């Protein structure tokens, strides 16, 4: 979700209001990285309120006896509190003993990180940019016209390169799993294969101004994965490949 990214804050607020409906009676909730954007940093009280709101939901779900697991993403620099990453990957058993392996996608082991140099170079730029968006509503309103399309083009190229690397980087991790679930990639198909293992992309919620992204989340129930989105005042499953 990249909470804290000022150009998406109104969109994030809508998502937070309807998130409890998506979670429903789930026993396991996985926050698969980049939930709070530590690269861009939080510059406004309104964005801090969104982080606090999600933190409160996590605390509530855990009190209800649900498992809530936060996985490390490449933008989780400096995350703390209930949303702080606990693991770099998670395995869970689904119906019939199906092993699902969940990871963000920037890390292939406890010591190997993809794009780490790229992230280090970009942190200062993203923080500087986001600080100006946070201060100036005119800039936020203009984002979808410029530079939003340019950011979309860069993101599409990044994600295309990352998708090509999936078999090489995650082939070994996928080999002993029944399903591999990853994040990190915002553009392209929502499902695929890594070798012989089916793969699914978890959701993102940053579409305003970003052409080609999809506001979706991944849900597992009744023995199957499905991508769900908010449409017509309710959550529903989509099977359009995104």
- Residues 189-228 have pLDDT tens digits of 999 999 999 999 998 999 988 988 889 999 999 899 999 9
Residue 54 CB neighbours (<10 A)? 21
Closest CA to 236 of 197, 227, 48, 130: 227
Give the whole-angstrom CA distance, residue 145 versus residue 6.
16
Mean pLDDT, range 172-180, rounded to an integer? 96
- 180 phi-psi bin (left φ>0, alpha ψ -120 to 50, beta other): beta
- pLDDT surpasses 90 at 120: no
CB 88 within 8 A of CB 103: yes
Indicate the SS3 state at residue 30: strand
Top CATH class of 6-238 equals: alpha beta
CB-based contacts of 60, cutoff 8 Å, min separation 6: none
pLDDT of residue 116 exceeding 80: no
Residue spans of the domains in the chain: they are: 6-238
Q: Are strands 234-238 and 224-231 parallel, antiparallel or unpaired?
A: antiparallel
CB-based contact 133:140 (threshold 8 Å): yes
**What's the pLDDT score for residue 112?**
83
Local structure of residue 121 (DSSP, 8 states): H
Which pLDDT value is given to residue 209?
Answer: 84
Q: Look up the pTM and report it.
A: 0.93
> Taking a C-beta distance cutoff of 8 angstroms, is the pair 68, 55 a contact?
no
- 77 burial class (0-12, 13-18, 19+ CB within 10 angstroms)? middle
* Confidence (pLDDT) at 121: 82
| Cα distance between residue 175 and residue 184, in whole Å | 20
* Banded pLDDT at 119 (limits 50, 70, 90): confident
SS3 140: helix
Closest CA to 40 of 133, 113, 106, 146: 133
């Amino acid at each position: 979700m990249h909470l804290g990214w000022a150009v998406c804050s109104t969109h994030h607020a809508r998502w937070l209001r309807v998130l409890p409906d998506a979670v429903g009676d789930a026993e396991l909730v996985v926050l698969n990285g980049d939930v709070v954007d530590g690269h861009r940093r939080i510059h406004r009280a309104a964005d801090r309120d969104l982080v606090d709101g999600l933190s409160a939901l996590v605390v509530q779900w855990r009190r209800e006896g649900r498992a809530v697991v936060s996985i490390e993403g490449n933008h989780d620099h400096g995350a703390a509190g209930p949303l702080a990453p606990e693991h770099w990957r998670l395995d869970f058993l689904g119906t019939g003993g199906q092993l699902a392996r969940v990871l963000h996608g920037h890390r292939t082991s406890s010591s190997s990180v993809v794009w780490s140099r790229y992230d280090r170079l970009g942190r200062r730029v993203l923080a500087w940019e986001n600080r100006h968006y946070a201060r100036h509503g005119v800039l936020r309103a203009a984002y979808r016209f410029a530079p939003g399309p340019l950011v979309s083009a860069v993101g599409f190229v990044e994600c295309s390169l990352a998708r090509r690397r999936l078999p090489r980087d995650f082939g070994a991790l996928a080999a002993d799993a029944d399903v591999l679930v990853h994040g990190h990639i915002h553009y392209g198909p929502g499902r695929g294969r890594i070798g012989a293992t089916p793969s699914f992309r978890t959701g993102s919620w940053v579409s305003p101004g970003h052409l080609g992204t999809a506001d979706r989340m991944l849900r597992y129930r009744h023995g199957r994965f499905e991508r769900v989105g908010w449409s017509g005042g309710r959550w529903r499953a989509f099977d359009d490949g995104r």
